[in-house]
Amino acid sequence: MDALLSVINHDRSLYRYLLLDPLVPMGNLSPIHIDTLTEMLGKNRVMPVLRPEIAYDPLSCPQLMIIANPSQDVDIELIRNSLNWARKESTYTKRYVCSWITSKVNLQTLSERLVDIGLLMGRTMGLSFVPYFEPFRMQLLQEGNSICPEWLISALKDIETYSYFSATSGLKTIRQTDYSLLDREVFITEEAKLYQREARKILHLFLAWHELCEQRGIPLTERRLMDVAEIYRTGRNIGLLNTEDNFVFSLNSLQYGNLLNSPKLSAEIASVLKDEGSLAERFSQLDEHVFLSLDSK
């Protein structure tokens, strides 16, 4: 918790915010239930972020809350409770705690800015809107475009710090730079754009891989999200556009290694690309030693 408090309190002249997603169920008795926090903080310190596809129902949109005005102390218990929950749900399909934000701008301005950011990202990536505030998507954005971290920094306009809990490495914080960037100096790769367009499928694959790692005692630090995303992209690049086929290819690749190193497995994949059955059916007919032999290649 000290790391998060250090970020939040680094500049007490800023507004400190918490962003929550009410589409994710939260027990009524939880100290971080939106209704509980609204009563504690006051209605004037809570505002919806009008996510375009559900803007007709503001109460279902992400809720932005001022947890400390400039020069005001933050509630330590609120920070502890929100961080503990973010840690607990870090590998859930849907997550309630989106982020902790510090900013110079007021509540209404920031709530509007958060929508603008998603729309801008959407135009860049061929989507109507990117819900980047979902922690898994934010991690994909940050790690998937690590060659130019300045792109994400510049996209998060009016945000001084943006902290979220990653699925693999705990709390992560994105900080604004103290120097200006020209548009031509920042970019996002085509790979990172693909990861956003395919984020739900990558999440499904990551959670399956995470479960296997749990069963095998593989440390969390070795469960790199980018390994999952890159293998998923490899499957698409060789022509496995069917969701189930790509899932089978990717999960087996994560377990055993580069499947394309095996002539037998390569032949099975080639058959599937010719519409000769599914990859799951074909792989199920093979002896496991075909996969295990990849370790020695």
Q: Residue with structure tokens 């058959």? A: 271
Any domain includes 80: yes
* pTM of this structure: 0.93
pLDDT tens readout for residues 271-296? 999 988 899 999 999 988 899 888 64
- Do 28 and 126 fall into the same domain? yes
Any domain includes 155: yes
- 284: tokens are 């199920």
Q: Could you tell me the pLDDT band of residue 185, with boundaries at 50, 70 and 90?
A: confident
Residue-level pLDDT at 265: 95
3-state secondary structure the chain: CHHHHHHHCCCCCCEEEEEECCCCCCCCCCCCCHHHHHHHHCHHHEEECCCHHHCCCHHHCCEEEEEECCCCCCCHHHHHHHHHHHHHCCCCCCCCEEEEEEECCCHHHHHHHHHHHHHHHHHHHCCCCCCCCCHHHHHHHHHHCCCCHHHHHHHCCCCCEEEEECCCCCEEEEECCCCCCCHHHCCCCHHHHHHHHCHHHHHHHHHHHHHHHHHHCCCHHHCCHHHHHHHHHHHHHCCCCCHHHHHHHHHHHHHHCCHHHCHHHHHHHHHHHCCCCCHHHHHHCCCCHHHHHHHHC
Residue-level pLDDT at 177: 84
Residue-level pLDDT at 169: 81
pLDDT tens readout for residues 133-176? 999 999 999 999 999 999 999 999 999 999 999 998 899 999 99
- Do 93 and 180 fall into the same domain? yes
What is the pLDDT averaged over residues 179-196? 83
- Do 208 and 266 fall into the same domain? yes
- Do 274 and 138 fall into the same domain? no
> Is the pLDDT at 186 greater than 90, yes or no?
no
Q: Which domain holds residue 58?
A: 2-187
The count of structural domains within the chain is 2
Residue-level pLDDT at 297: 44
pLDDT tens readout for residues 52-79? 999 999 999 999 999 999 999 999 999 9
Lowest mean pLDDT among 18-22, 41-45, 284-288: 284-288
Any domain includes 259: yes
- Do 172 and 227 fall into the same domain? no
Of 165, 187, 209, the position where a domain reaches its end is 187
Percent of the chain, pLDDT > 70? 96
Residue-level pLDDT at 296: 43
> Is the pLDDT at 211 greater than 60, yes or no?
yes
Asked whether the beta carbons of 46 and 37 are under 8 A apart, the reply is yes
Q: Could you tell me the pLDDT band of residue 182, with boundaries at 50, 70 and 90?
A: low
- Do 173 and 26 fall into the same domain? yes
Residue-level pLDDT at 1: 86
Residue-level pLDDT at 170: 92
pLDDT tens readout for residues 87-126? 999 999 999 999 999 999 999 999 999 999 999 999 999 9
Lowest mean pLDDT among 155-159, 202-206, 217-221, 293-297: 293-297
Give, in degrees to the nearest 5, the angle at Cα 208 between 170 and 222: 45
Of 187, 206, 238, the position where a domain reaches its end is 187
Percent of the chain, pLDDT > 90? 87
What is the pLDDT averaged over residues 22-35? 96
